[in-house]
Structure 1
Amino acid sequence: MSFFGDLRTVLRGPRFRRLFGTRLASQFSDGVYQAGLAGFVFFNPEQHTSAGAVAMAFAVLLLPFSVVAPFAGVLIDRWPRRQVLLLSSLAKAGLTLACAALVYDGEGPAFFAVALVALSVNRFFLSGLSAGLPYVVPRQQLMMANAVTPTCGTVASSLGTGAGLAIGLLVGTGPLGTAGILTAAALGFAAAGLVSLSLGRRELGPHLEEEPEEVRAAVGDVVRGMVSGVRHIWSRPPARDGLATIGAHRVLFGISSLLTLLLYNNTFTGGGVAGLAGFSVSAGLLAAGFFLGAVATPWATARMSPGAWIRLQLLVAAAALAGFALPFSPALFPAAAFVLGFVSQGVKVTVDTLVQRHVDDAFRGRVFSVYDVLFNATFVLGAALVALLVPPSGVSVPVVAGMVAAYLLLGAAWAVRERRTALPAPGIPV
């Protein structure tokens, strides 16, 4: 079935629609919020950003996700997940308003501290969405729901980023503009909290009385719960190999994000509003790639195995970087962003499905928390690895050539895996 056909099918369920609406409202607001932070931190017209500064900002803004995620996964396997969605949405709204007030003091410790707490709270929200999904769709529709909902959330976030960037272009990248963007994001978070109230308090689980005693005991210990989630993944090779691929890809995506910010801030433009405008074009094409990758994946995996589809996309990413990124041309670079967006979402949807197919419900919260740690920590790792190698201009042929080689090696690894391991047969769409 096509992406849109799958979406129509799962949208027939009223409980799914309520959870889906909560996701879209919050992730759109996430995009607006991230646009406000990006414009304020990266495209300050008073300075040109260095590679080290970009990597440090990525670390400050993303690494808390990796610290909070293990606790989020274990706790949402214990707390009513509807309450997690409601309270985290309201907390994000309040914290975002606090950020809006603090921008007038500049990029000080207080601003970053509040931003970090808001981003950390978001881990509870996203983990709660993933863990609650099996409660609102029939089991036979879980696969298609898993394919369409994160993708629509990513598209909503990208649209929110575009909306936030548009506000920034209209009112400027100074404190007043940033405060306006963040206030809009806060209103969106509050709206997401209101939408979550359409779900029953216990509607998203967990129902611990239905689980074995050893599961209830594991939930009581955060560290043990995280370890059990890792072991659960390790015992399921398709999920394990998929997550390893996501980790490697996110390292490369972190590198490409660092290069993109430097190029638009220091080379393609003079920075400030012009840099933000150029970056917005690439961000828009990246979002379009995300969407089309999600649409194409169900069609493709109906005709080939998930492993073959992952391999093909990795090779396409290598070709796109070689053809569109290596010239370091402002006319060609956005095309590389589009292809990487397509590959990123296509690989993620495929891996999400492999994980959903091969993990038990009692471990789903912890598994997706491990996924979150991997997703964010490897992104920061990628930026940190090349921060000392990339000049302020962002132009580095050896770094991009190394990325091309890495994608080729990943594609080759999946070719070997396809020959050695029996993956789901062709004709079973993701």
Structure 2
Amino acid sequence: MAVVRDLRVLLRFPGFRRLLTVRLLSQSADGVFQVALASYVVFSPEQETSPAAIASAMAVLLLPYSLLGPFAGVLLDRWQRRQVLLYGNLLRAVLALGTAALVLTSMPLWLFYLAALSVTAVNRFVLAGLSAALPRVVDGERLVVANSLSPTAGTLAATAGGGVAFLIRIPAPEGAGSDAAVVVAGAVIYLLGALAALRIGRELLGPDSSAPHPRMATAVADTARGLVAGLRHLARRRRAAQSLASMALLRFCYGALTVMVLMLCRYAWDGGRIGGMALLGLAVAVSGLGFFAAAVLTPWAVRRAGRFGWIAVCAAATAVLVPALALPFSPLPTLCAAFVVGMATQGSKIATDTIVQSSVDDDYRGRVFSLYDMLFNVAFVGAAGAAALMLPPDGRSAALVATVTALYATVAAAMFHVKRGDGHPAERDGMVTPVRPTTS
């Protein structure tokens, strides 16, 4: 009820309503495009899907966020943000249409990746522009609430967009034409996002054109030096560094298991393209339910076990349940494992977010979270690469399950040791109310 009340208050701001509309359309189009990418790379009969191909697709989707993210602000402080939202969505619509044309011509896979990389690279600027514009459309008193609700709404929109893509794709006949139709649907939604941006005043979202800016080369160099300074500061904050290391390992496990499930859906469960995509969609939905279960459970769990204790519990639970559920390599137990892994990963992330926020000095917090974002995505891509080396074509790999189980157990032992070293959670573990979670 508190969330509904907060949203009602925010929607009284016309600028926030319009900015939120752009976000919802943009991120729903992202969901459509990402499902189209997965469909073409993983389930297309024309492609010989392999773990290496899946790892390449994940790198295309995630590395632009990691590499461009910290530097996007340099340009966003120079360009009008309304124009970034307008032209960014227009450009993505054009690029998506070009990608659809390439799908119809059965182009080489590397060319498809190049087109997809172009779309996701522009996406980094659009998302950063949406976040940077929020202080211009709500007052300071409600900015924290807006920063919590707006990205969460965007994540839900991306999930809904993925659902729309499945609805378009599943009943369609086999062939490249159906993949292209999904991409075209994404292009149309990108275009709607651009049109929605036109309803926002050109100057409303900033930046202030009268503010002095350093030269571009100087700004980029300052950003790079800031990241190095953030890394040095993180090295002096042992508890924050330990929580980030544990989160990177848990994200690695999540990524490796994701690739395994993709290969199981494609080959081992013999559902054909339609059945395989339906099972994949169900696995994503079940994992998402685990994310939301973590959002509900984590505040209660942290009050009782402490943040490091909760990370230890999450890792220990997955260390026990993942091999029991995943080793049969059957759909139903694996879907149960997806729920457990989703809940444990998101629960640990919520705790890690709060540890970093409370342990890092305010002057360094933005830079440390930029490093956190990079580490989060690089761990996922690295996991896909490692899975590509370990997985057989059908995805049934006891060695991979044993590896992630060992990593989960290692994180559980390490975090339990840290918790014991900190004493009672209410004394040394910084008992503050956890931040509202993001779903990543």
TM-score (norm 1): 0.85
Letter in 2 for 1:388: L
**Structure 1 residues 307 and 178: CA distance shift in structure 2, 3 A:** same
Shift of 1:424: 3.5
**Structure 1 residues 356 and 29: CA distance shift in structure 2, 3 A:** farther
| C-alpha contact 1:36 1:164 (8 A) present in aligned 2 | yes
1:57-114 per-position Cα deviation (integer Å, ceiling 9, x unaligned): 3334433443433432432344333332222122111111111111111142443322
Shift of 1:2: 5.8
Task: Report the more deviating stretch, 130-139 or 329-338.
Answer: 130-139
Which has the higher Rg, Structure 1 or Structure 2?
2
Q: Any unmatched runs of 5+ in structure 2?
A: 423-427
Letter in 1 for 2:51: A
Correspondence for 1:225: 223
Shift of 1:362: 9.5
| C-alpha contact 1:41 1:107 (8 A) present in aligned 2 | no
Equivalent residues in 2 for 1:14-413, closer than 5 Å: 14-46=14-46, 48-108=48-108, 109-139=110-140, 141-206=142-207, 216=214, 220-232=218-230, 234-235=232-233, 237=237, 240-269=241-270, 271-297=272-298, 305-352=306-353, 358=360, 364=366, 369-413=370-414
CA distance in 2, matches of 1:196, 1:239: 38
**Structure 1 residues 361 and 8: CA distance shift in structure 2, 3 A:** farther
Identity rate, percent = 40
CA distance in 2, matches of 1:79, 1:285: 40
**Structure 1 residues 11 and 41: CA distance shift in structure 2, 3 A:** same
* SS at structure 2 position matched to 1:220: helix
Correspondence for 2:425: none
* SS at structure 1 position matched to 2:390: coil
**Structure 1 residues 218 and 115: CA distance shift in structure 2, 3 A:** closer
| C-alpha contact 2:66 2:374 (8 A) present in aligned 1 | yes
**Structure 1 residues 427 and 294: CA distance shift in structure 2, 3 A:** closer
| C-alpha contact 1:89 1:192 (8 A) present in aligned 2 | yes
CA distance in 2, matches of 1:54, 1:318: 25
Shift of 1:363: 7.7
**Structure 1 residues 127 and 247: CA distance shift in structure 2, 3 A:** farther
1:214-252 per-position Cα deviation (integer Å, ceiling 9, x unaligned): x95798332431330342365253665554444323222
CA distance in 1, matches of 2:66, 2:226: 17
Shift of 1:322: 2.8
Letter in 1 for 2:42: F
1:101-134 per-position Cα deviation (integer Å, ceiling 9, x unaligned): 1111114244332211111111112222333444
1:425 counterpart (411, 427, 431): 431
1:235-281 per-position Cα deviation (integer Å, ceiling 9, x unaligned): 25366555444432322222111101111111112542222122122
Shift of 1:174: 1.9
| C-alpha contact 1:59 1:380 (8 A) present in aligned 2 | yes
Greater than 6 Å deviation, 4+ residue runs = none
Task: Report the more deviating stretch, 75-84 or 298-307.
Answer: 298-307
| C-alpha contact 1:92 1:121 (8 A) present in aligned 2 | yes
CA distance in 2, matches of 1:178, 1:128: 30
Higher relative contact order (CA 8 A, sep 6+): 1
Shift of 1:36: 0.9
Between the two proteins, the alignment pairs up a number of residues equal to 426
Q: Any unmatched runs of 5+ in structure 1?
A: none
Task: Report the more deviating stretch, 130-139 or 30-39.
Answer: 130-139
